[in-house]
Structure 1
């Protein structure tokens, strides 16, 4: 019988109705008791970390989760983490970087309806998460709606639908069908070396989505606010305006100040390529880092993680030129 740890952090799955709407209130033991028939197949121990709406889960909570997993993983075959859906993709991505070469499956899940609701999707999501946690496939994953997604490829794309998450620019790591849990072995993370907890993060990272006519002086404000990194969602394959409102000149200025700038596409699918157009090539000449086909969640958390390890811009570029856990396609 596989020994699993169920860690709870709140979210919709553990919520109950209050005078102010749904709020997390169920403990890990209450959650386990409610799904007792499901956990009977496994040797499950439980641990409460938080009772938080995931909107309130921030880098400090990510570090607490990572340190808990680092402390507990030697005692278990797999770990399941319940979490609210709103920031679940950010948590899945950052844990993928912080838990380097984690030797067991760490599977994050939650639900769109509370576990006590008669039509909840929580039981099915937990069923899938437990199965993945027993798979002996090391890495960080997100399990939802009978799909298992790499932690760095998950994006929440629906607010109420049970198929809330998609695996963007990468096939799912596994799917559930009549044959059970079917793995896509070619994209499962490859663990190289021993486990290392790399939990230092820099929270001074800003995410900006470009719009036509954006005032370039906003970069001066970010400079004064001592931001260390910026992720920009540019147009299409990598466009930034440089006529009248010259964003590229401002980017070059802040890069020279030592701020790391990662530029991705606003498009959810496919990759950015700054070599195609004049605007993109000018951006590359200014010293920005390409995000290629990374999700926004992966780009933001990877930059926080990279800046937690080093403040040297060239080293950050090296980190973004490395595919650690399937977060980026470099060819």
Structure 2
């Protein structure tokens, strides 16, 4: 009996499986499967056995919705007993959002899930997709990785710590507040001290991922009416990108009244930093006290992508607003540093 690991590859969409056409690169059903089938490098004894599922229709990641995150999570969860690891092929535009969401949705899976893609399609001469896919498959076959990762270029990153940092470079993703979990060079090296431990419990997915959450970046002179619109029904949550350590113009009484009124209606407001390398602790500065009194909760060093995905997931799970606020500031999947 073969002892090769079995890896499930979900091709959700994205550049990696596109084909050159008269109109430019475009998704073509079956093309990625053909490219993998015809690539000898992916069929050596050192490479796990691959099972590829192409989604229909293929998703342009710019059109991704939270419902698509849930679809991927369900796909993986239903196959957890049949595969040793999972690879998700995805477009780069919203890859960090999807990787973050999967980290929260699949907490308890206790198996590697690796999200990757490419800047150039797999079938093109200079494609970065071959190396990204091979690295992702090999990471997904590891026994020590039991979390959602994002692999791109030479970096192995925690999925819920990632941001897209380049629109065209092969090293397109970064993890600003957590060092890489590993590097893919001559050898694939993973720092086991940075990995999450065994996850206990079952994967409990919500019925729907439809909690309306908005995202607002604070800027000088922002009118209170904009914040009021962002918190108006049907909104149940709001991620605010504040300045520096999470400050807002607290001299603006209308802004604070709007925040407080939203909190009274049960709208959960999470505050993250506009700084890529930033940390929001609302207890650190006296100027943040009005935000706490208005019901806002600091997101510590979470990325905007992770904070948004986390709030959507928590609200969709049916927790009451106070419990959502508590969980938002808690470490659930390695997304923040307490």
In which range does the TM-score fall when normalised by the shorter chain? over 0.9
Contact 1:10 1:26 in 2 (8 A): no
1:121 and 2:128 aligned: yes
Displacement of 1:293 in angstroms is 0.1
Map of 1:181 onto structure 2: 188
Displacement of 1:256 in angstroms is 1.2
Aligned-partner SS, 2:80 = helix
Pairing partner for 1:59 from 54, 63, 66? 66
1:293 to 1:224, Cα distance in 2 relative to 1, 3 A: closer
Q: List per-residue Cα deviations over 1:29-67 (Å, max 9, x = no partner).
A: 224224342233321111112412111221121111111
Aligned-partner SS, 2:180 = coil
Contact 1:59 1:203 in 2 (8 A): no
Pairing partner for 1:88 from 92, 95, 110? 95
- Paired residues in the alignment total 329
Map of 2:283 onto structure 1: 275
1:16 to 1:103, Cα distance in 2 relative to 1, 3 A: same
Q: Equivalents in 2 of 1:279, 1:22: separation in Å?
A: 50
Pairing partner for 2:199 from 192, 202, 217? 192
Aligned-partner SS, 1:230 = strand
Q: List per-residue Cα deviations over 1:50-93 (Å, max 9, x = no partner).
A: 41211122112111111110111211111111110111111101
Q: Equivalents in 1 of 2:205, 2:251: separation in Å?
A: 42
Pairing partner for 1:38 from 27, 39, 42? 42
Aligned-partner SS, 1:275 = coil
Superposition RMSD in Å: 1.7
Contact 2:256 2:294 in 1 (8 A): yes
Q: Equivalents in 1 of 2:326, 2:232: separation in Å?
A: 26
Pairing partner for 1:29 from 33, 38, 45? 33
Displacement of 1:163 in angstroms is 0.6
1:1-331 pair list within 5 angstroms: 1-27=4-30, 28-40=32-44, 41-50=47-56, 51-136=58-143, 137-178=145-186, 180-199=187-206, 200-244=208-252, 246-330=254-338
Q: Equivalents in 2 of 1:89, 1:34: separation in Å?
A: 29
Aligned-partner SS, 2:121 = coil
Q: Equivalents in 2 of 1:186, 1:103: separation in Å?
A: 17
Aligned-partner SS, 2:179 = coil
Q: List per-residue Cα deviations over 1:176-209 (Å, max 9, x = no partner).
A: 233x221122221223323313244234000101
The worse-fitting range, judged by mean Cα deviation, of 256-265 and 318-327 is 318-327
Q: TM-score, normalised on structure 2?
A: 0.92
The worse-fitting range, judged by mean Cα deviation, of 193-202 and 104-113 is 193-202
Q: List per-residue Cα deviations over 1:214-234 (Å, max 9, x = no partner).
A: 111123323444100000000
1:192 to 1:15, Cα distance in 2 relative to 1, 3 A: closer
1:34 to 1:110, Cα distance in 2 relative to 1, 3 A: farther
Contact 1:103 1:138 in 2 (8 A): yes
Aligned-partner SS, 1:247 = helix
Q: Equivalents in 2 of 1:234, 1:321: separation in Å?
A: 16
Q: TM-score, normalised on structure 1?
A: 0.94
Aligned-partner SS, 1:79 = strand
Displacement of 1:21 in angstroms is 3.6
1:115 to 1:192, Cα distance in 2 relative to 1, 3 A: closer
Displacement of 1:279 in angstroms is 2.7
Contact 1:112 1:160 in 2 (8 A): yes
Q: Which runs of 5+ in 2 are unaligned?
A: none
